Structure 1
Amino acid sequence: MQQTPEVLMQPTRRHLLHTAGAGGLVGALALLAPDLAAAAPELEDDGFEELASRWVDQLTGRHLLVPGQARFDDLIEDIDSDADEFLDQLNPAGSATVFADLDYDADPNLTTTVQRLAHLATAWATPGSRHHDDATLRDLVIVGLRDFRSRIYNPSQPEYGNWWTWEIGVTRALADAMAILREHLADEDVAAFGDSIDFYVPDPWEQFPEERGRITSEGANRVDLCQAVIIRSIVGRDRERLAHAIAGLSAVWQIVDEGNGFYEDGSFIQHSTIGYTGTYGLVLLSGLSRLFALLAGTAHDIDDPSRANLTDAVERSFAPLIHEGRMMDAVRGRAISREAERSLDNGNDAIEAVLRLSEAVDEETAQRWRGLCRGWIEDNSAATILHEGPITRLALVSALMDSDVGAHRLPPGPTVFPQMDRVVHRGSGGWSACVAMCSDRIAWYECGNGENEHGSLTSQGMVYLYLPQTDDHFDDEFWATCDLQGLPGTTVDTTPLPPRVEGQWGESVPEDAEWAGATTLGTMTLAG
């Protein structure tokens, strides 16, 4: 299936001494939430170096680290621990694979390989890490990137497996590593890595899955593709590709009346038939929040007036679907089957994205959004976001919780999303419920990539109930242990169904179900 072209570069890899690199925090920096509205410094040469430095700030949090605070020290120790594990698996230069435990037969291992290398680069660039400024580690990463490129990720290697691996998974991590290591990469390295990204993503406005051919990229996929090309273009100083990738972002926040994207009623659709606000929509929001922060105040700032659609979506599309800091499972699609991606994880991602975007709106809106975030954190007794990474997130959250911003909570009452067949009702006692339905617009469910293969009833009237001050909800191994043929609200017919019934990727909808939705009267809701 895969080709292994002759190795292009085989420099000797120096032996790594785990005792090397005992640097402490360098240059104590004050904890300041990024102010996107502030005037940017004068940028020269299209500001490529300033932009690259900003991106590394986002990846490492180096500009937000506060020396001597245990909460940051713990996160840095986690970075180092993971780095040490990855180094233990690192193969000698010129080996068939970069890491001993990751072969290239399974395409997801390609993404993991480059993500590990990017993580090692992040450790090298993070003040306080034991690996900070360790030249040996830095050179090991560069050689690993060269080996990966020459062995498998180059223009002579056709895609296999999932297109996402080649066009998004690898490209984003590779571009991140390029940005972090840019001052130590030879011009030939920058050109070679850039050529590989350009080969698999010749145009971020499109994607190239082998089974479907060339298609227009949409939603979160468009943002991810544009991000990879934006960072690659900054490092490679490619003005034309940078401008094209930035211009491609506007399409994802336009209001649509069919297909994928945001709808006037706040719905977010991905894969044509799935209400996906909580994962794909969130990836879109998170990615854009980072790119807005990167470009703000520069010659490349996003000045499209329609960006207001995105900021409106925070309260119209996302906030109603978050209960006490958890993203409701009714809009998480296949992610409900992922052990490593719980509703709390998606909720934490949403809080981080909203806090980033709050720096790009008027002060009244920003204060309201920060209040929402504070309420989500205070009402969640688990509140892992108060002590878990990444560093940039913890710094943003710490700044919020140390401020005098008060908690803001949505009022009781209904929110109806007709275009994705979802209804949310918030009760006066702090509880929430979501009814997930399907119709000739919205599929029964989505499975794919071996995920959620038994989830066929999750949108057939299932009622998702969220009680106040309850830590777990559906994160307590509910999906792994529940009766999937007897979900709440779906118990009329409990006939066992086979896995992947009605196909994968939301390809099938109930053709005879022309009506699904709700009607409201004040604070009352009737759904069906």
Structure 2
Amino acid sequence: MIKKYCIAILLAVAVLCISTHTTLAATPQIITVDEQTKALNNWRTTLLGTQIDEKDAVLMSVLKDRDNNVSAIMSKLPTNIKEKPVGSGVRYVFSDLSNWPTSSKSILETASRVELMATQYNTYGSTYYQDAVLKQQIIDALEVINVDMYNEQTATYADVNDWNIFIPKTLINSIVLMNSDLPIVLTQNYLKAFDHFEPKAATDLSIGTGSNRINKGFIIVLRGVIGLDQDKINLGAKIMEHGYKTVIPGTGPGSGFYADGSFIQHDKTPYTSGYGVDILKASAGLLQLFNGTSLLSNVASANNFQIFQNSIYTYLDKNYLPVLYKNEVLDMTRGRGITSNAQSNEDVANTMLYNMYIISQKKATLKEPYSNIVKSAIYDSSLRSDFYKNMTIPQAQTFQSLLTDTTISKTYSDDKKNTMMSWARQMIDRNKNYVAGLSMFSKNISAFEFIGSQNKTGFYTGTGALSLYNGDDSLRGDYYPTVNMAMLPGTTSDMKLPTLTATENNKLFSNTESWSGGISDGINGSATLDYSMANVTASSLSAKKSWFFLDDIIVAMGTGITSTEGLNTQTIVENRQLLNPSNTFSVNGQEIPLAQNTTKQVANVSWAHLAGTTSNQDIGYIFPQFTNVNAFKQTQFGNWDTLDSGNDLKAVSATYAGLTIPHGANPSDASYMYMILPGSSKEDTEKKARDSGVLTTNTGNVQGVLDKERDLAIMNYRAPGEAGYATVTKHNYNSTAYTSGSIMIRYATDQEKKVKKITLSDPSMEAESIHFSVPKESYAVVSSQSGKGTVKSEGDTWDITVDTSGKTGESFQFVFENEAPTLTADDFTMGDSYVTGNYTGDVAKIGLKVNGTLLQLINATTSPYQYYAKGKITAITDTVSFITYDANGNQLKEVPVNVKGASTLKANDFTMGDSYVTGTYTGAVARVALKVNGTLLPEINVSGSSYQYNAKDKIKAATDTVSLISYDARGIQLKEVPVTVKAVPITVATDDFTVGVDSYVTGTYTGDLSRIALEVDGVVQTKIPVSDSSYRYYTYQLIKTTTSEVNIIGYDSSGAEITRSKVTLNSKPQITANPFTTGKDNYITGSYTGVVDKIALEVNGTVLQKINVTGSPYQYYAKTNNLKASDTVYIVCYVASGVEANRVRVIVK
């Protein structure tokens, strides 16, 4: 350990000597050698895990697999790595990667293999642990890579991301793992190489967006740690900062996180479980790297890392968690990653879950929930013997610990949740035993992404593909090469699969139509899509579709299906991989046998059923209208190379069960409708085919459903109109659309109140506003409404308009309460003429009761009401109540009327820091009480005409809402008056600043000040936070002359300037000292110029007592110091900050 610590120090010193920066910027260096050592040890643990117990068969098996991999790649090492092999024009590390001069991927693979070698060399329990031969091979390999392939002179070729992301990511890990064994010069050269390929400033155009930005920033951060370079850490943090900000639609590049849960990469492709995984890794990596250090909160980079820390915890819930079903990711969020057989869906999910767990454990409110989420997600898969096969040791150790912790529940959440990720054009519906994902495209979101040779057949993956995850593993394994990429469930296809060329690399395969989005109230939802394939497959095929995600039912419908291609067009209801080919598949109760290349045409189908391995994995299919379908159960063949030429040629096969609805070769305005019932038994499916409880509408203008059992209707209006279901149930589900848009109508009981919930959205994300109306029925009270909405009462209807100019595609909710009769009565003060108050409901008459006697009833004409009571209420002791009646004379409500004596009450202003609320009163006041933020404090007795109420520690902020209440002797409230609370005045005071001496501007402040900034000659510097009523601002060469105009500016929490104070600038003092004669003189005397606070005597390097000075000349008593001529004596002067300003030598005789 001592050896590594010393090497770390030497390395740091060496790296500083070759720093690419000529200065250290304006902020003092913060990272220390101790923190560097801590951080690098953290990163080693992140890469290696903790020491393995050799009795742990599971981990030893994982380790053995890694050893076997190392053994295999070592067989491809030349005898002498550093020599050029005979017959080869270049040096190489591995014989099968000698094409590196033209292939950046070969350099990346070379670096990755070396990292694996370094990992095994450093992993206790590995066959290669501390193997001397392997160590030298690693060092030699790293030298060859640096000298020949990757250095500060290398020009990029092939894939630029290999050079500035993937290659340095793996190389920098090897540097950390081998740092104590590497020559310092080699480490220095690698740091130069990283500097060469990585951005030099946070504004570089080469940084990119989304995860590319965060990857590059993290590499620079880690490079800064290795090089003990705070500037690099700050630069990396600044680069990463933008990647964590939530993207606001329409404000710039579209890559990044969205408030609706979307994550977009390359501006046009949903990629939460693709590029988004890199962000998870980097985020967890930051927390692991800097664990136990101050580097996430240091002064120099607090703002940058703060954005990361504020955002990533939100993104766990909002963006990442929805795209997982247990330890399976929704493939629609993987982009072109689905076409690579190098990493399985489960591998991606496990990586996400591991990093989500690491991140969550750093935030107290997430620790327990995510411990359950991760454990329950992996529990079922962990029972397989190969569960840990593709994991790193740290990941496997973490999962092992979770799985064996009996305090953590393994129960997977079955909460119902629907999420519309509008910007991604994706809907996710989570139910008890399944998750469904629907992927659409738009004018700015591509149907799929094709880059290089990846995703050559992905045309239909974003054109309404519906994926159902229920634990049957149907989308795993060899699904994509065998499913037939032109027959994805949910899509309507003419089977066109064009051949892509290099000119279409990274192309936007856009929709010609804008109608692509949905509506969701968080529980249920609907996605809707108008599209043509013109910009995708160059086909004339077009359609109008909607999907409705109810409880355990998915309703799919389409209309307007048109094509002139002359190709057989069909809607794919199902094309499901069967891991167990013996699972029964039946249509109208008749089994479809396993038969190769045989499709059975079945007429007048009303239902079908696919048996799962467990009952929860059963799937039922209902056709509300008799439908002709094609059904098959067969083995399908494919090759991974057809998806991505980068895959090895690998012929594969799988068994499938399928259902399609044929539309013919040239359909014109064809339509379809079907329902999917996940988890439904064969018997229940047949029963629901007779009455599903769901009514449907499927026209060119309106597509909708009514779920009678759940009191829910959803309608997608492509054009203004009126639709709904007025008389089917006791509720009125009618709605009128004055614009296009979507509406949900739900009747429910909310906190014992019957409510009608209206949810609205603009699926096109193009409208400036949307406008609907719905019948009021008995729901006559607006309980809550979206801040973007306007609700008007128009006779028997509610008229609702929503501002959708933000074009976010979000859903807006309005809640109306079923109005039960209500009645209130205002307090009556002796001397008043009327009893007043309010009522709601069908009130016909009102009356007053005094001391048990009901007085005359009068007609109720309007609310608020007034009832003439002068001469009827004669004393404050009277018992009074007010009563309402309906038209039949039935009593509806009776409420008491408080009778008060006449009084007044005044409250003086209260300034924060005061002890008492004070004021005056008159009349029958016996007690007063204070109310703070709605909390009523104890009453106190009062007498005379004034009061004081002890409010110390009760009023805590100037923003508190405070009032003073008076009561009579019976406890009846008389008056309530507001108390004005004033904040402590905000002031800033500055100490004098001596130019050329002081490094900090200092001072004090009062009031609620959040930040300060230094202003020098009109230029405002960085804002810094303040606390504890004093501040210090580091000036580093900013103030160079006393003629500068310098101010300290104070800001509130919103960033607004609220005060400023001028800084008095003093010149550097000059001081002289007269000769001192020992035995004769009592004082050392002299003079000075400038502003001096203290002087001190320094004798032979020891500073003696400092004394205050009030002016020049000065004298310092020195008789008792026994000064000798041989002594080295100085008079030292200091400014008010305590900093030495100047000194002068005293001649002692």
Q: Provide the TM-score with structure 2 as the length reference.
A: 0.40
**What is the correspondence of 1:129-140 to structure 2 with a 5 Å cutoff?**
129-140=126-137
**Cα separation, 1, equivalents of 2:348 and 2:230:** 34
How far residue 284 of structure 1 moved from its aligned partner, in angstroms, is 0.7
Residue in 2 that maps onto 1:477? 478
1:64-106 per-position Cα deviation (integer Å, ceiling 9, x unaligned): 5334211121122122111111211112222221111102122
**Cα separation, 1, equivalents of 2:32 and 2:195:** 25
**Cα separation, 2, equivalents of 1:76 and 1:496:** 43
Q: SS where residue 262 of structure 1 aligns?
A: strand
Q: For the Cα contact (< 8 Å) 1:222–1:248, is it kept in 2?
A: yes
Q: Which moved more, 1:255-264 or 1:330-339?
A: 255-264
Q: Which moved more, 1:492-501 or 1:119-128?
A: 492-501
1:462-481 per-position Cα deviation (integer Å, ceiling 9, x unaligned): 111112x31x2211312101
Q: Which has the higher contact order (CA 8 A, sep 6+)?
A: 1
1:456 aligns with 2:452: no
Provide closer, same or farther for how the CA distance between residues 385 and 206 of structure 1 changes in structure 2, counting only shifts above 3 A.
Answer: farther
Q: Match for 2:148 among 128, 148, 151?
A: 151
1:165 aligns with 2:165: no
Residue in 1 that maps onto 2:45? 57
Q: For the Cα contact (< 8 Å) 1:278–1:346, is it kept in 2?
A: yes
**Cα separation, 1, equivalents of 2:52 and 2:228:** 29
Report the structure, 1 or 2, having the larger helix content.
1
**Structure 2 counterpart of 1:292, which letter?**
L
How far residue 203 of structure 1 moved from its aligned partner, in angstroms, is 3.0
Q: Match for 1:179 among 170, 176, 181?
A: 176
Residue in 2 that maps onto 1:377? 378
Q: Match for 1:278 among 270, 273, 296?
A: 273
How far residue 343 of structure 1 moved from its aligned partner, in angstroms, is 1.5
1:45 aligns with 2:33: yes
Q: For the Cα contact (< 8 Å) 1:335–1:342, is it kept in 2?
A: no
How far residue 382 of structure 1 moved from its aligned partner, in angstroms, is 7.0
Residue in 1 that maps onto 2:316? 314
1:27-64 per-position Cα deviation (integer Å, ceiling 9, x unaligned): xxxxxxxxxxxxxxxx9525112211111111111x25
Larger Rg: 2
**What is the correspondence of 1:172-321 to structure 2 with a 5 Å cutoff?**
172-203=169-200, 205=202, 214-258=205-249, 259-301=254-296, 304-306=305-307, 307-321=309-323
**Structure 2 counterpart of 1:279, which letter?**
G
1:123-162 per-position Cα deviation (integer Å, ceiling 9, x unaligned): 1111111111122211211111111111121233211100
Q: For the Cα contact (< 8 Å) 1:358–1:365, is it kept in 2?
A: yes
Q: For the Cα contact (< 8 Å) 1:386–1:398, is it kept in 2?
A: no
Q: SS where residue 450 of structure 1 aligns?
A: coil
Residue in 1 that maps onto 2:353? 351
**Structure 2 counterpart of 1:230, which letter?**
V
**Cα separation, 2, equivalents of 1:522 and 1:223:** 31
Q: For the Cα contact (< 8 Å) 2:114–2:141, is it kept in 1?
A: yes
1:101-129 per-position Cα deviation (integer Å, ceiling 9, x unaligned): 10212220000111111111111111111
**Cα separation, 2, equivalents of 1:271 and 1:506:** 10
How far residue 226 of structure 1 moved from its aligned partner, in angstroms, is 2.2
Q: Which moved more, 1:248-257 or 1:514-523?
A: 514-523
Provide closer, same or farther for how the CA distance between residues 172 and 388 of structure 1 changes in structure 2, counting only shifts above 3 A.
Answer: closer
Q: Match for 1:432 among 426, 430, 435?
A: 435
Q: SS where residue 504 of structure 2 aligns?
A: coil
Residue in 1 that maps onto 2:517? 517
**Structure 2 counterpart of 1:238, which letter?**
D
1:341-394 per-position Cα deviation (integer Å, ceiling 9, x unaligned): 2221111111101111122111x3211111111221124477654565211001
Q: Match for 1:411 among 390, 415, 418?
A: 415
Q: For the Cα contact (< 8 Å) 1:124–1:138, is it kept in 2?
A: yes
**Cα separation, 1, equivalents of 2:61 and 2:92:** 31
How far residue 426 of structure 1 moved from its aligned partner, in angstroms, is 1.8
Q: SS where residue 215 of structure 1 aligns?
A: helix
Q: For the Cα contact (< 8 Å) 2:152–2:194, is it kept in 1?
A: no
Identify unmatched segments of 5+ residues in structure 1: 1-42, 208-213
Q: Match for 2:339 among 327, 337, 340?
A: 337
How far residue 215 of structure 1 moved from its aligned partner, in angstroms, is 2.9
Q: For the Cα contact (< 8 Å) 1:80–1:130, is it kept in 2?
A: yes
**Structure 2 counterpart of 1:277, which letter?**
T
**Cα separation, 1, equivalents of 2:167 and 2:427:** 37
Residue in 2 that maps onto 1:118? 115
Q: Match for 1:401 among 397, 400, 403?
A: 403
**Structure 2 counterpart of 1:55, which letter?**
W
Q: For the Cα contact (< 8 Å) 1:444–1:506, is it kept in 2?
A: no
Provide closer, same or farther for how the CA distance between residues 496 and 452 of structure 1 changes in structure 2, counting only shifts above 3 A.
Answer: closer
Q: SS where residue 396 of structure 1 aligns?
A: helix
**Cα separation, 2, equivalents of 1:484 and 1:501:** 20
**Cα separation, 2, equivalents of 1:520 and 1:195:** 52
Q: Which moved more, 1:450-459 or 1:337-346?
A: 337-346
How far residue 227 of structure 1 moved from its aligned partner, in angstroms, is 2.5
Percent of matched pairs sharing the same residue: 21
**Cα separation, 1, equivalents of 2:501 and 2:325:** 30
Q: For the Cα contact (< 8 Å) 1:440–1:514, is it kept in 2?
A: yes
Q: For the Cα contact (< 8 Å) 1:453–1:499, is it kept in 2?
A: yes
**Cα separation, 2, equivalents of 1:388 and 1:444:** 31
Q: Provide the TM-score with structure 1 as the length reference.
A: 0.85
**Cα separation, 1, equivalents of 2:243 and 2:381:** 31
Q: SS where residue 423 of structure 1 aligns?
A: strand
**Structure 1 counterpart of 2:56, which letter?**
Q
**Structure 2 counterpart of 1:422, which letter?**
Q
1:446 aligns with 2:459: no
Provide closer, same or farther for how the CA distance between residues 485 and 450 of structure 1 changes in structure 2, counting only shifts above 3 A.
Answer: same
Report the structure, 1 or 2, having the larger strand content.
2
Provide closer, same or farther for how the CA distance between residues 159 and 316 of structure 1 changes in structure 2, counting only shifts above 3 A.
Answer: same
Residue in 1 that maps onto 2:75? 88
**Cα separation, 1, equivalents of 2:443 and 2:247:** 18
Q: For the Cα contact (< 8 Å) 2:435–2:469, is it kept in 1?
A: yes
Q: SS where residue 427 of structure 2 aligns?
A: strand
Provide closer, same or farther for how the CA distance between residues 88 and 519 of structure 1 changes in structure 2, counting only shifts above 3 A.
Answer: same
Q: SS where residue 428 of structure 2 aligns?
A: strand
**What is the correspondence of 1:2-41 to structure 2 with a 5 Å cutoff?**
none
**Cα separation, 2, equivalents of 1:461 and 1:324:** 23
Identify unmatched segments of 5+ residues in structure 2: 1-30, 85-90, 529-1149
Provide closer, same or farther for how the CA distance between residues 291 and 486 of structure 1 changes in structure 2, counting only shifts above 3 A.
Answer: same
Q: For the Cα contact (< 8 Å) 1:190–1:235, is it kept in 2?
A: no
Residue in 2 that maps onto 1:78? 65
Residue in 2 that maps onto 1:420? 424
**Cα separation, 1, equivalents of 2:36 and 2:326:** 40
Residue in 2 that maps onto 1:35? none
How far residue 521 of structure 1 moved from its aligned partner, in angstroms, is 5.2
Q: For the Cα contact (< 8 Å) 1:273–1:506, is it kept in 2?
A: no
Residue in 2 that maps onto 1:465? 468
**Cα separation, 1, equivalents of 2:60 and 2:152:** 42
Provide closer, same or farther for how the CA distance between residues 396 and 299 of structure 1 changes in structure 2, counting only shifts above 3 A.
Answer: same
Q: How many residues align?
A: 474
Q: SS where residue 179 of structure 2 aligns?
A: helix
Residue in 2 that maps onto 1:29? none
Q: For the Cα contact (< 8 Å) 1:445–1:456, is it kept in 2?
A: yes
**Structure 2 counterpart of 1:367, which letter?**
E
Q: For the Cα contact (< 8 Å) 1:255–1:264, is it kept in 2?
A: yes
**Cα separation, 2, equivalents of 1:161 and 1:197:** 18
